[in-house]
Amino acid sequence: MPGNSFGQLFRITTAGESHGPGNVVIIDGVPPGLELSEDDLLPDLARRRPGQSRITTQRREADAPRILSGVFEGRTTGTSIAILIESHDQRPRDYSAIKDAYRPGHADYSFDAKYGFRDYRGGGRSSARETNVRVAAGAVAKKLLAEAHGVRIVGYVDRVGDVVARVDDPAAVTLDQVEASIVRCPDPEAADRMIALIEKLRAERDSIGGAATIVASGVPAGWGEPVFDKLKADLAKALFSLPAVLGVEYGAGFGVVAARGSENNDAFISRDGRILTASNRHGGMLGGISTGMPIVLRCAVKPTSSLPREQPTVTRDGRPTTIVTKGRHDPCLVPRFVPMAEAMVAITLADHMLRQRAQVGSA
């Protein structure tokens, strides 16, 4: 099975399944000398882990990371970093009833069509459980970016169902504002309505979709390659690689379809010796290369497909049947999606930082 690695110079390779013994990531390209310990990984892993609030899945996992290689006496050595996160609260028996039936909205059928065999325990390799080690790798990338350039990456929930947050300046949102609410929305009034909606849908044995905004501030101008390796293209691939993502946009996104060029263009200005733009409808990237303005991305996340209600489906041999998905699932994926998205943005930016450094001698 190829396709388990991402990145060129900052490169991650992951392995693991939903209800297997654990997940592992190998990170290549981290320069030597970066101070790093397991404690550096814990804050973001705690934000991603299951069972963290009443509106998330109640699976209980500590998600405690173990650094197996690449760090000596508290500093990276320049060799491959291996991180293991063991699983302890697996319940594969919850999925025995779906061994021969396809869950609507899941990858059950497509895995069968590709391999003729699948791990039916919670989706196996396609499960979001795999993202815990991505978040660990993202914590390493965040630290590298922060120390090299002061880059700050903050994501937040901006919509759940028909509840939309009011955020005047995405780049001004702080981590403390995001983490003040269990739904990770920096607008307190909207956050309360989002939580109420999620709890209502859970009581109805249903789920709801949402959207998240991710902002990277402090990224220097010049990162990204023209044509096929555009920064926007790699960021889109990174975010689309996450489970449940059905849409990615940056800057004004789909809002540009109704705009005139005279309205959409961002005027260049000079301030304190720096070239900036007066607005940021371009989302921090022009020609696929960073401009020095905040990189602003947005993801659409579908409703949880696993529902504790009867749904029509078919078996592997095509017989009509119904299915009720047991197990413990998020009634809304987007609050726990935020740290996953931050991680993939950080990994992509760390890769392009090292590529810029290798190409022109500085980043």
Rounded CA separation 213/116 (Å): 37
Res 55 pLDDT > 90: no
Percent of the chain with pLDDT over 90: 75
When pLDDT is cut at 50, 70 and 90, the band that residue 52 belongs to is low
When pLDDT is cut at 50, 70 and 90, the band that residue 306 belongs to is confident
Supply the pLDDT for residue 308: 86
- CA diameter of the chain: 69
Supply the pLDDT for residue 91: 61
Instruction: List, in order, residues 6 or more apart from 239 with CB less than 8 Å away.
Output: 214, 245, 248, 297, 299, 341, 344, 345
- Decide: 242 and 6 in contact? Cβ < 8 Å: no
SS3 69: strand
CA distances from 247 to 25, 224, 242, 341, 344 (A): 26, 21, 11, 13, 15
When pLDDT is cut at 50, 70 and 90, the band that residue 264 belongs to is very high
When pLDDT is cut at 50, 70 and 90, the band that residue 99 belongs to is confident
- Structural tokens at position 8: 């060129």
Supply the pLDDT for residue 129: 85
Supply the pLDDT for residue 124: 74
When pLDDT is cut at 50, 70 and 90, the band that residue 116 belongs to is confident
Supply the pLDDT for residue 294: 98
- Per-residue pLDDT, averaged over 258-283, amounts to 96
Res 11 pLDDT > 90: yes
When pLDDT is cut at 50, 70 and 90, the band that residue 53 belongs to is low
Predicted model pTM: 0.94
Rounded CA separation 238/219 (Å): 17
- Which one of 39-53, 88-102, 243-257 scores highest in mean pLDDT? 243-257
DSSP 17: -
Rounded CA separation 216/294 (Å): 6
284: nearest Cα among 298, 300, 263: 298
End-to-end CA distance of the chain: 34
When pLDDT is cut at 50, 70 and 90, the band that residue 59 belongs to is low
Compute the C-alpha angle 20/26/30, nearest 5°. Answer: 155
Domain ranges, ordered by start, for the chain:
5-354
267 class by beta-carbon count within 10 Å (0-12 exposed, 13-18 middle, 19+ buried) = exposed
Least confident segment among 151-165, 166-180, 236-250, 296-310: 296-310
Q: For the segment 121-171, what is each residue's pLDDT rounded down to a tens digit?
A: 767 778 888 999 999 999 999 999 999 999 999 999 999 999 999 999 999
DSSP 30: P
- Per-residue pLDDT, averaged over 203-225, amounts to 96
- Structural tokens at position 206: 């249903």
CA distances from 121 to 20, 21, 63, 94 (A): 9, 12, 19, 8
Instruction: List, in order, residues 6 or more apart from 272 with CB less than 8 Å away.
Output: none
Q: How confident is the prediction for the chain on average, in pLDDT? A: 92
- Per-residue pLDDT, averaged over 93-120, amounts to 81
- Per-residue pLDDT, averaged over 28-37, amounts to 98
- Per-residue pLDDT, averaged over 296-309, amounts to 93
DSSP 265: P
Supply the pLDDT for residue 271: 93
Instruction: List, in order, residues 6 or more apart from 268 with CB less than 8 Å away.
Output: 275, 276, 277, 278
- Structural tokens at position 89: 């609260």
What does 145-164 look like in DSSP terms, one character per residue? HHHHH--EEEEEEEEETTEE
Res 189 pLDDT > 60: yes
Supply the pLDDT for residue 187: 98
SS3 295: strand
Topology at the third CATH level for domain 5-354: Chorismate synthase, AroC fold (3.60.150)
- Decide: 355 and 288 in contact? Cβ < 8 Å: no
Residue with the bigger pLDDT between 287 and 306: it is 287
In 10 A of CB 328, how many CB atoms? 17
Rounded CA separation 5/35 (Å): 24
When pLDDT is cut at 50, 70 and 90, the band that residue 327 belongs to is low
Rounded CA separation 213/74 (Å): 33
Q: Which residues pair with 274 in a beta bridge?
A: 271
Residue with the bigger pLDDT between 361 and 264: it is 264
Compute the C-alpha angle 167/250/338, nearest 5°. Answer: 60
CA distances from 3 to 106, 120, 233, 241 (A): 19, 20, 17, 10
